[in-house]
Amino acid sequence: MTASVLTPPAAQERTAGMRALEVRFERAGKTFRSGGVDRTVLADVSFAVAPGEVVAILGPSGCGKSTLLRIAAGLETASAGAVRVDGTPVSGIDPRCAVAFQEPRLLPWRNLRDNVALGLPRGTGRRAGGAVVDRLLELVGLAGHAGHRPREVSGGMAQRASLARALARTPGVLLLDEPFGALDALTRLKMQDLLLDVHAAEPTTVLLVTHDVDEALQLADRILVLGREDAAGPAGVHSVVTVPGARPRDRSSAALAALRGDLLAALGVERAHH
C-alpha cells in the first residue's frame, strides 16, 4: 500500500466541456456537539485528488466517510483544517461540486427529463439547457424514458436520472455517496459500468464513498482507507492504495484479488485460513 496523500498523480489532458478540478483536504477534521458533549469523528485528514481522478473512500461504518464527502460539498463545515477545490476554500454549498446520494431523491411529480433539468446551473438558457439535458439522458440510456415519472421506472433507472441531474451542473467535482448501495447486485454492476462510461465521456473529478471493496477496485484510480487508531478515537487516513491497471478492469484479475485481501484486512476483516 502507498500513502502519498498530498501528491496526486499527474492529471491527464481533458477535452470535455467541463474542467475537472483538484480537491485538497488539509488536516481536515469534524467535531459534532450533542447534549453538551463534543464527539470528534474525523481528525487530521490530509489528501489530494488530482483533476479527473476517481478516488474511492473506504472505511468501517461510522468512521466519517459521508461526513468527509459532505465537507467537500460544503454541506458540512470542517471544524479544523480546510478543504480546497481548485485552490480556493470550500465555504458553504459549493457550485463547483455536485452530489448524488444513495437514494435518487427525484421529485415524484416531475418526469425524468424535468428532474434532470433541475441540475442545470441557474441562468442556463432554455435551448442550451434542453440540449444539455437531452445529451445527458442519451448518455445514461434514458432518452426513451424521458417522459416517465420516477414511480414508472426501475430503481436503477431512477439512479441513472439522479446521476444525469448531478452532471447537468457541469461540475468540476462529482461527489457520490453510496450511489449504488440500494440496488440489487446485477443492477449495481451495470451501474458501475455506466459510471465508467460516463466518466470517459464527462471526465470530471470523482470522490466515491462505498462500503463495497470490489466496487472501489473496479472504479477507482486510488482508494483512501479511513480508520481509527482506537475504537473511541476519531478516524483519519489509514492508508492510500493505488489500483493497478486501466479501466475497465477484469473483475476476476488475480492482482485485484490480492489487493482485495489487503483492503479487507485494513478494514478489520480477517483472512480465511485454510
**What does the pLDDT read at residue 270?**
62
**What does the pLDDT read at residue 2?**
42
* 181-229 pLDDT, tens digit each: 888 889 889 989 999 998 998 899 999 999 999 999 999 999 999 988 8
Q: Which residues are registered as beta bridge partners of 2?
A: 240
CB 102 within 8 Å of CB 176: no
Q: Which residues are registered as beta bridge partners of 28?
A: 45
Average pLDDT for the chain:
88
* 129-163 pLDDT, tens digit each: 999 999 999 999 999 999 999 999 999 999 999 99
Q: Where in the chain is the domain with CATH 3.40.50.300?
A: 23-96+171-267
* 98-131 pLDDT, tens digit each: 999 888 999 999 999 999 999 998 888 889 999 9
**Cα torsion at 200, 203, 207, 212 (round to 10°)?**
0
9 or 140: which leads in pLDDT: 140
Cα atoms in the 13 Å half-sphere on the side-chain side of 264: 14
Give long-range contacts, CB 8 A cutoff, 24+ apart: 12-17: 12/52, 12/203, 14/51, 14/52, 14/203, 16/201, 16/202, 16/203, 16/204, 17/170
Comparing CA positions, the residue from 90, 51, 58, 50 lying closest to residue 73 is 90
Alpha helices in 47-119 (DSSP H): 65-73, 112-117
Residue tagged 431512477 (cell numbers): 158
**What does the pLDDT read at residue 254?**
87
State the fold for domain 23-96+171-267: Rossmann fold (3.40.50)
**What does the pLDDT read at residue 62?**
84
Residue 265 CA from chain centroid, whole number: 23
